[in-house]
């Protein structure tokens, strides 16, 4: 068990690392971050920041000098670095589950082998694979690069073989996955914490809406039946157990007319879990600290219905700051800005959470604020 005063390491310097660092520092820990970005949000708040690439041998030595245990803030940390660190300290989540989540095909094959429901998919290694894959998967479908794709990047909808061939060329013929595009009723996510003893605590099921492939709103509790919520939580817990997972894990689902399909996993805190900062007894970043340090898991119960809205770079129209008064004039709304230096379209710059008497009221307030921030008539 690592107690306050110990040094914790974070691989990656984005907003998830920043929120982990703030939580750990508040709990009395010291934090060392490792990221090549000189303006990384996490590095700005860390006790010590290592600005270097992940294959810098000197950076590895310095990180090991400081950290007693390490975690990741995004899933694309090189597997060999995670394994090297594992020989020197506790690394949560470990290299094996992270390496599965780094590769979309490997992730889907793992889920399929373990009996979890997933959309039809095919692996694409060469352009000749596309014709057979389209016959298996059908159209419309999504062609996605296996690695490094996120927030709608590195994927495109295809409705014909020509579409698929062009997309594969545009992606540079890197390994891809072709997935059936699912006509879902709702998108859901389950975030949980699992410790070294295999104990699990599950946060409330979240209901999500994306725009252009990027999460725009989350509302909790999800407006679904108790049976669906229990099933989603059960599947997420079984996935974590089959992975022998330690740490915070997010599992995304499609709810269809026929039932639940697992969309993908994230071996870290998740954008759809930011509501926990304001609406839960224990937030997802404190749970990340607790699993990393071997502390008892925190109580994830929801203390108020809530909705969250993402603030994207598009809000900085003409290079001007958004009118923050549109958010701050609401006493039941909490603003979280990530401290990123450059605002650009498609980049997550912050989020805000509205607490209300019920989920519908919270979501309505969030949509209204988003409409004002983006100067548009809808937010769905």
Tell me: do 173 and 192 sit in the same domain: no
**Within-domain flag for 280:** yes
Cα 344 to Cα 316: distance, rounded to the nearest angstrom: 8
The residue from 180, 199, 227 where one domain ends is 180
**CB of 154 closer than 8 Å to CB of 145:** yes
Going by C-alpha positions, the residue among 273, 339, 268 that lies closest to residue 308 is 273
Question: Cis ω on the peptide bond leading into residue 225 (within 30° of 0)?
Answer: no
Is residue 27 domain-resident? yes
Q: Are 178 and 160 in contact (CB under 8 A)?
A: no
Which of the two residues, 213 and 245, has the higher pLDDT score?
245
Same domain (yes/no): 125, 190: no
pLDDT of 379 > 50? The answer is no
Q: Please work out, in degrees rounded to the nearest 5, the angle formed at the alpha carbon of residue 118 by the alpha carbons of 116 and 119.
A: 165
Q: Are residues 243 and 176 in the same domain?
A: no
In three-state secondary structure terms, 177 is strand
Residue 97 lies in a domain: no
Give the tens place of pLDDT for each residue, 95-144: 999 999 999 999 999 999 999 999 999 999 999 999 999 999 999 999 99
Handedness of CA 357, 362, 364, 368 (dihedral sign): positive
CATH number at residue 74: 3.40.50.20
Asked if the structure places residue 102 within a domain, the reply is no
What's residue 75's pLDDT?
87
Q: Are residues 67 and 151 in the same domain?
A: no
Is residue 129 domain-shared with residue 239, that is, in the same domain?
Answer: no
**Residue 114 resides in a domain:** no
pTM, to two decimals: 0.94
Largest CA distance in the chain: 58
**How large a percentage of the chain has pLDDT more than 90?**
91
- 150 has a pLDDT exceeding 70: no
- First-to-last alpha carbon distance for the chain, in angstroms, is 45
Number of domains in the chain: 3
In terms of DSSP H, where are the helices of 49-172?
Answer: 57-66, 79-86, 95-102, 104-113, 129-137, 161-170
| 207 and 171 within one domain | no
Q: Would residue 337 count as lying in a domain?
A: yes
For residues 26 and 49, membership in a common domain is answered with yes
Please write the tens of the pLDDT for every residue from 327-369: 999 999 999 999 998 998 889 999 999 999 999 999 999 999 9
Whole-number Cα distances in Å, 20 to 71, 149, 174, 345: 10, 23, 33, 25
Least confident interval from 45-54, 148-157, 225-234, 342-351: 148-157
Same domain membership, residue 349 and residue 203: yes
Range of the domain at 278: 186-374
Instruction: Name the domain boundary from 91, 107, 142.
Output: 91
Tens digit of each residue's pLDDT (9 = 90 or more) over 183-227: 999 999 999 999 999 999 999 999 999 998 899 999 999 999 999
Q: How far apart are CA 247 and CA 192, in angstroms?
A: 8
Closest CA to 172 of 149, 140, 141: 149
pLDDT tens column, 283-305: 999 999 999 999 999 999 999 99
Band of the pLDDT at 231, cuts 50, 70, 90?
A: very high
CATH of the domain at 143: 3.30.1490.20
Are residues 306 and 211 located together in one domain of the fold?
yes
| pLDDT per residue as tens digits for the range 58-74 | 999 999 999 999 999 98
């Amino acid at each position: 068990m690592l107690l306050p005063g110990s040094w914790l390491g974070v691989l990656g310097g984005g907003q998830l690392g920043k929120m982990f660092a703030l939580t750990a520092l508040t709990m009395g820990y010291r934090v060392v971050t490792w990221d090549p970005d000189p303006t990384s949000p996490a590095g700005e708040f860390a006790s010590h920041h290592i600005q270097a690439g992940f294959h810098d041998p000197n950076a590895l030595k310095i990180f090991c000098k400081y950290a007693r245990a390490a975690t990741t803030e995004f899933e694309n940390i090189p597997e060999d670095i995670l394994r090297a660190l594992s020989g020197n300290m506790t690394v949560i989540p470990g290299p094996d589950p992270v390496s599965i989540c780094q590769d979309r095909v490997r992730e889907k094959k793992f889920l399929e082998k373990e009996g979890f429901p997933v959309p039809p998919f095919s692996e694409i290694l060469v352009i000749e694979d596309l014709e057979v894959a389209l016959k298996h998967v059908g159209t419309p479908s999504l062609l996605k690069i296996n690695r490094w794709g996120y927030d709608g990047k590195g994927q495109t909808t295809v409705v014909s073989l020509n579409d698929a061939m062009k997309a594969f060329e545009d992606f540079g013929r890197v390994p891809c996955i072709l997935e059936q595009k699912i006509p879902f009723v709702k998108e859901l996510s389950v975030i949980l914490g699992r410790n070294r003893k295999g104990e699990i605590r599950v946060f409330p099921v979240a209901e999500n809406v994306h725009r252009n492939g990027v999460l725009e709103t989350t509302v909790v509790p999800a407006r679904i039946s108790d049976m669906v919520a229990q099933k989603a939580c059960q599947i997420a817990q079984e996935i974590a157990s089959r992975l022998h997972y330690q740490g915070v894990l997010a599992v995304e689902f499609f709810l269809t007319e026929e039932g639940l399909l697992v969309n993908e996993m994230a071996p870290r805190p998740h954008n759809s879990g930011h509501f926990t900062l304001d609406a839960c007894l224990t937030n997802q970043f404190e749970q990340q600290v607790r699993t990393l340090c071997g502390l008892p898991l925190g109580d994830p119960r929801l203390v108020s219905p809530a909705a969250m809205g993402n603030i994207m770079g598009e809000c900085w129209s003409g290079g001007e700051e958004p009118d923050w008064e549109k958010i701050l004039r609401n006493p039941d709304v909490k603003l979280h800005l990530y401290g990123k230096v450059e605002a650009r379209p498609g980049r997550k710059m912050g989020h805000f959470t509205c607490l209300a008497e019920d989920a519908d009221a919270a979501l309505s307030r969030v949509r209204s604020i988003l409409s004002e921030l983006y100067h548009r008539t809808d937010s769905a």
